[in-house]
Structure 1
């Protein structure tokens, strides 16, 4: 199901289009096991109904769903057909829908709604509010929406990270460089350099720029409340992020 694009188009990085076949080497499925278990615990703790269904907005390659689908019937939504194709191969038992999470309306509700780090691509408050409104429209009374930006303003730190993996005769390594082009703008840049080695040993370097939203914690809580949720901020419990101050936001939809 396709949705009309809002007036502020997302600047879609190469990673989700022409480089999509390399995505599983950037962040392998196994890397999502710990965080998916954390999400499941939050859904079970805060949902006022037995959680049985999940809507994953900005689902990407379906790596979270790969670990959640055993407990939840998953409907996965992403804007990019190439990413949905990856997820369909990984999660053939899940429902896949092409759509923009700022405007999507499926006409049904779910016990749980997950908006993983794809929400970080919302670089204006208006776009962020639109995604939260979509989450509210699809959360059942007594259900829970979980939103996880990479950073809020208070936790952002410029810097670099590296990683990657090998698989099926190919390899990928990346260097990420985070920086703020304007201290007063509510966004930051993640410049990504990928080294890609194919099955024949040939290697190429690709640069990819990601523009990401960066909003104060109070703005997140205000927008979640304005959508109709009861907002809640909780620490992100993950061994790799224990000292970063990373948070997740919950939107608890009232029963009535």
Structure 2
């Protein structure tokens, strides 16, 4: 899980430079439309695996958000960006808040579910917190049908003289298992000009559309998959919506 990775631990304070909030605007807008596909008016939204709150920066304009993450340092980053939102430390596989929401949102933090059991428990958590007539939206980076080996890069400079750049390289060492591997290299620059380089290996889950459909149905949702492609050079991305019957 994410607590194993420095990205979400001692390096969490760099997250707004590694993956700036502005880069989440399109994903958040697409997710908001999916959340509003619920058959009830959507105001109160639970986000599982909210990380540094970069989706919340955009979604809070439309919804009242409760943000849940496993990493206290990432929650601290999010609180600075989204002080008006409720923040809760918790594991998306086990969380039970004892209240229901109009909709539940799980962005790419769901990628850290490496087994069908963990993914199923996350889907069950979403169902337990989704009111009748509500919807749950899951946005994994990959499914078995859409996965392609890829590289990515990014980063930004801060107003305080710090800067961050990263390179990521993702591939599937064994197509017969349920995870893929990403090698990240970070270059972090302090205000005094000194730099450090960090290398980290992440494992993230990959499941077929059939598995997603089965787990959503098994939890009690009526499932729907939407496939989105942002352009000819971008691999398609599946978004899963679970509607809870009214």
Report the TM range for the smaller structure's normalisation. over 0.9
Partner of residue 4, structure 1: none
How far off is 1:39 after superposition?
A: 1.4
Partner of residue 157, structure 1: 148
Partner of residue 42, structure 1: 34
For residues 96-245 of structure 1, what are the structure 2 equivalents within 5 Å? 96-168=87-159, 169-236=161-228, 239=230, 243-245=234-236
State how many pairs are aligned.
245
Partner of residue 74, structure 1: 65
2:54 to 63, 70, 75: 63
- In 1, the alpha carbon distance for the partners of 2:232 and 2:48 equals 23
- In 1, the alpha carbon distance for the partners of 2:4 and 2:129 equals 25
Is 1:251 equivalent to 2:245 in the alignment?
A: no
- In 1, the alpha carbon distance for the partners of 2:101 and 2:19 equals 27
8 A contact 1:11–1:211 mirrored in 2: no
How far off is 1:50 after superposition?
A: 0.8
How far off is 1:240 after superposition?
A: 6.1
The 3-state SS of whatever aligns with 1:77 is: strand
- In 2, the alpha carbon distance for the partners of 1:176 and 1:189 equals 10
The 3-state SS of whatever aligns with 1:154 is: coil
How far off is 1:70 after superposition?
A: 1.7
Question: Cα deviation per residue 1:89-138 (whole Å; 9 max; x = unaligned)?
Answer: 10010000000000000000111100000000000000000000000000
The 3-state SS of whatever aligns with 1:39 is: helix
The 3-state SS of whatever aligns with 1:157 is: coil
In structure 2, the gaps of 5 or more residues are: none
8 A contact 2:162–2:191 mirrored in 1: yes
Per the normalisation by structure 2, the TM-score is 0.96
Q: CA RMSD in A?
A: 1.4
8 A contact 1:21–1:86 mirrored in 2: yes
- In 2, the alpha carbon distance for the partners of 1:103 and 1:134 equals 7
Structure 1 residue ranges, 4+ long, deviating more than 3 angstroms after superposition: 239-243
Per the normalisation by structure 1, the TM-score is 0.92
8 A contact 2:179–2:204 mirrored in 1: yes
The 3-state SS of whatever aligns with 2:174 is: coil
How far off is 1:185 after superposition?
A: 1.2
In structure 1, the gaps of 5 or more residues are: 1-8
For residues 17-36 of structure 1, what are the structure 2 equivalents within 5 Å? 17-36=9-28
- In 2, the alpha carbon distance for the partners of 1:190 and 1:240 equals 23
